[in-house]
């Protein structure tokens, strides 16, 4: 039954209360909004004025920094230090430099540079409140740094003095390389007759931020004579800026025209996010003011910038950024107070309006509450009204009858939706339909297309024939009912069950023997037919689900068998692992050991695990066969040892030709023959070395690798063009590589550029930082997709696979997860990709593809890993190894458990339960099944 919902209605008390208070609320909101905008504009204007005043203060401070040192430098330009020709004469003028340093806290160093590259500098050891030279002798006040090229030995020297200019220590500093002639302050002052001021920069030795005032000596010319310099730090500007902040989180910075930070209230070396936004001008201008509004660091800011007059050639600006919430804190407090007052008034008016509305709407409220129970799906509550209004009382009676009818339909809907097993579903459907009609007996027949008959599926207290023969799917309902009436006695009513495509699926019959319904009516027949239609849909859906489940199982086994059939060396792996994993899961569920005491799986979880086990290697369908089946190092689609042997044949023939040429030229025939035999033997020996190396092993010594590389350096002559008859892929690999003229001399073994195959557009998303990586993969990716270099392959230390091929093998688990994740799996199978894709993870987090650890994996994932490893160890169909015995396999698994590769509780359950023996009897060869001492592997308490 379909019920039409009306749109939501407004209650009468609420409507009256709203009408009274609406006008007041609108007026309040408008007034508060206007008040807020006015206060906001005032605060922004005040902030702009404060920024301008701050710029004036900073200008005054910069002038105060540069004026005293400029005066001192003008006096120093007349000192005899400029004419001193050696270090001894310059040392005599140190008191003058010390007086200049002592006269100002901001002067950090005084120095002089000479045309020959000599340099003398006196600086304070304690500058800007920081000890710049922690390794200075105790009591050091000044450091003298000198470079004197006329002195023997190391030209750079450092001398340490106390406050009275008494020497404390002298050091030779070979690494002190400083040429004043290359510095901007020297070159600017050399060509000027006045004091020059540099842009702020980092000082050479102390890395402080400051400026340099420089002036040439009074006796110097533009081409000769000393140049004086004074370093002035501007570090205290940052501290001053911090003191001038309007709010705790205000950002203030001084930047030059290149947007380099010269001073910052937070002592930053680079512009912060807020300062950068002001400099970029990305914000919105506030009401035509120089203030902009922008977002940074997760909140809103007001920003402004003012130019500084000081150092006008540097284009200095002071930049201020103030958090919006701090600048407008007082505004929001005032707004909150106004809002509270308005809210109290609105609440008072709302209460008054509600009281008046209740008085008007009370007669209607009682009926509304009764009907509201139905709207809340409370069909089990009787609907009654004691209203004296006749229409209201009649309405309540009708609604009560409707509620009882709906309760009956709820019962059958629950049965149709929750039924799982088809037989139980049919039984529940029959019981509910019989109850709705008010009868006690009935039955359901299902149609068999194969036998063209109706077969009794469910019977409730009724004597019915087991089958109804001679029923065709093409018969219409009236023919089927006529046939049923001939074979079923009594007073039954029939409903033919058809699916969505109108195909016959069965018949419902109910024996009418109670109440008024014993007399069949058209209305009753139509009702039973319609209610049985929903049952037909439920039956069809359940049959479809069961058939789809069977189809899914078949497809999964088909994929697994296709993977096994793809390679003759891995046949049966995708079938054996699920069976072994299922054995272990069953044992884990039954186990009462501490590790598995709380472990259980529902029927759906078992089905999910079963499918994941069958699909755990479905990604191998993308793995190249010649990589999976690679039995020797030089194998690609074929074993390239034959190509190398052909080159040896060429060299063998070259030796014969050389021998014959020597005979023709009259050389000693015996000696030539001896050289030929020796050369042939060397070729045989070298080829044997390569042939042995072609077979992968557990370990390849460095000496063997060196021998392979030695043999590979031998050359042979190629007389044919190696670019003829190539595939497009081979031709593309040679793009950009110049062709060698013929005859070409080539190495016997080589790693050529054409052996490399880049990833191109097929780069797999396995790196952790790859934006395409939505699965959490964390794998190392080789530089190339393939490297078929002969030396690269022959010098593989272990096994037969290169790192590129090893990744290609490991990538199958990535493809497994990606393929399964792309399937539209229902919620009950949502974990299939994870269960299938974690059997190569390790308990210690060193596995792949996601690097999960034991804490990230449940018992099913750990079981899958043990099953996969044990099957691989005992398999006898691999080209690169022989199947191991039970003891050998369990010993390896025991070591892997100790190393954190597999889970030890699962491994010991594997042994304790005897699963390994049951599996061995089914799948292992008799010679692999040896006597196992299980005590050797049981280490858990």
Give the tens place of pLDDT for each residue, 705-737. 888 888 888 888 888 877 778 778 777 777 878
Closest CA to 438 of 513, 531, 527, 526: 513
Separation CA 564–CA 573 (nearest Å): 7
Highest mean pLDDT pick, 233-242, 280-289, 583-592, 920-929? 583-592
Give the model's confidence band at 2: pLDDT under 50 very low, under 70 low, under 90 confident, else very high.
Answer: very low
**Phi/psi at 885 (5° precision):** -75, 170
What is the structure's pLDDT at 3?
45
More confident call, 208 vs 703:
703
More confident call, 230 vs 64:
230
Residue whose structure tokens are 């019915």: 464
Separation CA 854–CA 700 (nearest Å): 34
What is the structure's pLDDT at 1?
40
Residue whose structure tokens are 């290169």: 802
pLDDT tens-digit profile of 307-321?
Answer: 776 666 666 777 777
Q: What is the DSSP letter of 8?
A: P
Provide the token pair at 418. 């929750």
Separation CA 539–CA 535 (nearest Å): 6
According to DSSP, the residues that pair with 146 across neighbouring strands are 120, 157
Provide the token pair at 86. 């050696």
More confident call, 350 vs 586:
586
According to DSSP, the residues that pair with 142 across neighbouring strands are 124, 161
Residue whose structure tokens are 């390849």: 700
According to DSSP, the residues that pair with 306 across neighbouring strands are 318
pLDDT above 80 (res 456): yes
pLDDT above 60 (res 248): yes
- Kind of pairing, strands 453-460 and 441-448? antiparallel
Residue whose structure tokens are 């890395």: 207
pLDDT above 60 (res 647): yes
The answer to whether 625 and 570 have CB atoms below 8 angstroms apart is: no
pLDDT tens-digit profile of 864-888?
Answer: 888 888 888 887 766 556 777 888 8
The answer to whether 139 and 77 have CB atoms below 8 angstroms apart is: no
What is the structure's pLDDT at 102?
81
Closest CA to 628 of 689, 680, 557, 571: 571
What is the structure's pLDDT at 80?
81
pLDDT above 70 (res 756): yes
The answer to whether 548 and 474 have CB atoms below 8 angstroms apart is: no
Mean pLDDT of 109-134: 81
pLDDT above 60 (res 161): yes
Q: What is the pTM of this model?
A: 0.48
Give the model's confidence band at 849: pLDDT under 50 very low, under 70 low, under 90 confident, else very high.
Answer: confident
The contacts of residue 621 (CB under 8 Å, 6+ apart) are 559, 562, 563, 566, 815
pLDDT above 50 (res 600): yes
What is the distance of C-alpha 241 from the center of its chain? Answer: 42
What is the structure's pLDDT at 24?
61
What is the structure's pLDDT at 310?
63
What is the structure's pLDDT at 235?
66
The pLDDT > 90 percentage for the chain reads 0
* Torsion angle, alpha carbons of 470, 474, 476, 477, to 10: 60
Residue 505: its H or E element = strand 504-511
DSSP-based helix, strand, coil % in the chain, nearest 5:
50, 15, 35
**Phi/psi at 784 (5° precision):** -120, 155
Separation CA 713–CA 686 (nearest Å): 12
Q: How many angstroms separate the Cα of 37 from the Cα of each of 33, 340, 677?
A: 6, 18, 104
The answer to whether 209 and 150 have CB atoms below 8 angstroms apart is: no
Separation CA 584–CA 561 (nearest Å): 22
pLDDT above 60 (res 366): no
What is the structure's pLDDT at 360?
47
As to burial, measured by CB atoms within 10 angstroms (0-12 exposed, 13-18 middle, 19+ buried), residue 244 is middle
Give the ranges where 230-282 is alpha helix by DSSP (H): 235-243, 273-280
Mean pLDDT of 212-219: 84
Mean pLDDT of 501-508: 81
């Amino acid at each position: 039954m379909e019920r039409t919902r009306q749109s939501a209605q407004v209650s009468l008390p609420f409507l009256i209360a709203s009408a009274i208070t609406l006008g007041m609320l609108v007026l309040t909101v408008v007034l508060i909004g206007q008040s807020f905008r006015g206060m906001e504009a005032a605060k922004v204007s005040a902030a702009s004025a404060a920024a301008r005043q701050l710029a004036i203060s900073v200008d005054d401070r910069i002038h105060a920094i540069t004026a005293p040192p400029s005066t001192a430098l003008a006096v120093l330009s007349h000192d005899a230090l400029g004419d001193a020709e050696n270090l001894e004469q310059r040392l005599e003028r140190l008191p003058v430099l010390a007086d200049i340093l002592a006269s100002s806290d901001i002067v950090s160093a005084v120095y002089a540079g000479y045309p020959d590259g000599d340099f003398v500098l006196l600086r304070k050891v304690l500058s800007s409140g920081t000890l710049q030279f922690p390794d200075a002798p105790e009591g050091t006040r000044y450091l003298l740094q000198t470079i004197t090229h006329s002195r023997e030995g190391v030209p750079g020297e450092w001398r340490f003095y106390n406050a009275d200019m008494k020497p404390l220590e002298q050091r030779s500093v070979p690494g002190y390389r400083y040429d004043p002639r290359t510095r901007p302050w020297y070159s600017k002052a050399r060509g000027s007759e006045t004091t020059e001021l540099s842009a702020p920069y980092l000082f050479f030795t102390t890395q402080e931020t400051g400026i340099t005032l420089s002036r040439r000596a009074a006796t110097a010319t533009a081409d000769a004579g000393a140049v004086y310099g004074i370093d002035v730090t501007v570090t205290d500007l940052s501290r001053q800026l911090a003191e001038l902040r309007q709010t705790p989180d205000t950002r203030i910075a001084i930047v030059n025209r290149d947007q380099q930070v010269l001073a910052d209230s937070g002592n930053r070396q680079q512009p912060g996010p807020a300062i950068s936004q002001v400099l970029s001008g990305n914000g919105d201008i506030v009401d035509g003011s120089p203030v902009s509004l922008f977002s940074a660091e997760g909140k809103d800011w007001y920003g402004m910038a003012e130019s500084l007059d000081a150092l006008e050639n540097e284009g200095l600006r002071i930049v201020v950024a103030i958090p919006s919430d701090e600048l407008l804190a007082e505004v929001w407090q005032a707004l909150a107070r106004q809002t509270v007052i308005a809210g109290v008034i609105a609440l008072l008016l709302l209460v008054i309006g509600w009281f008046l509305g209740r008085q008007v709407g009370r007669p209607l409220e009682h009926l509304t509450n009764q009907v509201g129970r139905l709207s809340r799906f409370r069909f089990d509550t009787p609907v009654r009204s004691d209203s004296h209004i006749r229409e209201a009382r009649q309405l309540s009676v009708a609604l009560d009858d409707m509620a009882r009818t709906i309760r009956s339909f709820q019962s059958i809907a629950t049965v149709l939706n929750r039924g799982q097993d088809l037989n139980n579903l049919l039984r529940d459907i029959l019981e509910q339909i019989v109850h709705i009609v008010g009868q006690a007996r009935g039955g359901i027949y299902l149609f068999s297309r194969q036998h063209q008959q109706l077969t009794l599926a469910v019977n409730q207290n009724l004597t019915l024939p087991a089958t109804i023969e001679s029923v065709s799917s093409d018969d219409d309902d009236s023919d089927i009912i006529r046939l049923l009436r001939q074979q079923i006695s009594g007073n039954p009513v029939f409903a033919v069950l058809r699916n969505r495509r109108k195909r016959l699926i069965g018949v419902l019959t109910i024996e009418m023997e109670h109440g008024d319904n014993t007399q069949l009516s058209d209305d009753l027949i139509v009702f039973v037919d319609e209610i049985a239609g929903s049952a037909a849909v439920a039956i069809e859906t359940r049959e479809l689900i069961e058939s789809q489940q069977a189809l899914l199982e078949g497809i999964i086994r088909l994929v697994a068998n296709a993977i096994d059939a793809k390679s003759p060396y891995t046949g049966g792996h995708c079938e054996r692992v699920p069976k072994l994993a299922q054995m272990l899961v069953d044992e884990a569920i039954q186990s009462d050991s501490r590790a598995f005491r709380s472990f259980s799986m529902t029927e759906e979880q078992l089905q999910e695990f079963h499918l994941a086990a069958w699909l755990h290697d479905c990604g191998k369908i993308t793995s190249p066969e010649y990589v999976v089946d690679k039995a020797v190092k030089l194998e690609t689609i074929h074993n390239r040892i034959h190509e190398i042997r052909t080159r040896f044949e060429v060299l063998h023939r070259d030796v014969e030709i050389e021998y014959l040429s020597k005979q023709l030229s009259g050389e000693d025939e015996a000696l030539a023959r001896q050289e030929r035999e020796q050369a042939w033997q060397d070729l045989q020996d070298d080829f044997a070395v390569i042939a042995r190396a072609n077979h992968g092993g557990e370990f390849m010594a460095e000496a063997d690798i060196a021998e392979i590389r030695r043999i590979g350096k031998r050359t042979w002559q190629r007389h044919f063009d190696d670019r003829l008859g190539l595939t497009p892929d081979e031709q593309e690999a040679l793009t950009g590589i110049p062709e060698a003229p013929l005859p070409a001399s080539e190495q016997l073994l080589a790693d050529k550029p054409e052996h490399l195959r880049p990833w191109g557009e097929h780069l797999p998303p396995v790196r952790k930082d790859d934006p395409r990586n939505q699965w959490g993969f964390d794998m190392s990716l080789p530089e190339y997709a393939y490297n078929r270099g002969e030396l690269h392959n022959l010098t593989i230390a272990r096994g037969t696979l290169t790192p590129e091929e090893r990744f290609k093998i490991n990538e199958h688990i990535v493809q497994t997860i990606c393929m399964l994740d792309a399937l539209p799996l229902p919620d009950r199978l949502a974990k299939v990709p994870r269960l299938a894709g974690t059997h190569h993870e390790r308990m210690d987090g060193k596995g792949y593809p996601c690097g999960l650890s034991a804490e990230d994996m449940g018992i099913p994932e750990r079981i899958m890993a043990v099953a996969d490893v044990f099957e691989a160890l005992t398999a006898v169909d691999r080209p690169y190894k022989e199947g191991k015995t039970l003891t050998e396999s369990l010993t390896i698994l025991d070591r892997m458990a100790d190393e954190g590769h597999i889970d030890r509780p699962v491994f010991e359950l594997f042994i304790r339960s005897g699963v390994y023996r049951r599996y061995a009897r089914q799948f292992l060869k008799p010679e692999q099944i040896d006597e196992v001492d299980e005590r050797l592997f049981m280490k858990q308490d």
